[in-house]
């Protein structure tokens, strides 16, 4: 599958589902807080 076809498949899925066609999540929320804390300290 080339890049153009991939983008078209993704765009059609977005239009059909009216959202992105996959879940976005963080497997370890506590790690995210640690990383944010590291950036705030700098």
In a structure prediction context, what are the per-residue pLDDT tens digits for the chain, which is 42 residues long? 999 999 999 999 999 999 999 998 766 767 777 777 777 766
Direct distance between the N- and C-terminal alpha carbons of the chain, in angstroms, rounded to an integer: 43
Task: Report in angstroms the alpha-carbon separations of 36 from 9, 10, 21.
Answer: 34, 31, 27
Global pTM value: 0.54
Query: What's residue 11's pLDDT?
Result: 97
């Amino acid at each position: 599958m080339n890049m153009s076809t991939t983008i078209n498949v993704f765009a059609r899925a977005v239009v059909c589902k009216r959202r992105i066609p996959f879940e976005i999540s963080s497997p370890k929320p506590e790690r995210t807080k640690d990383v944010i804390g590291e950036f705030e300290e700098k």
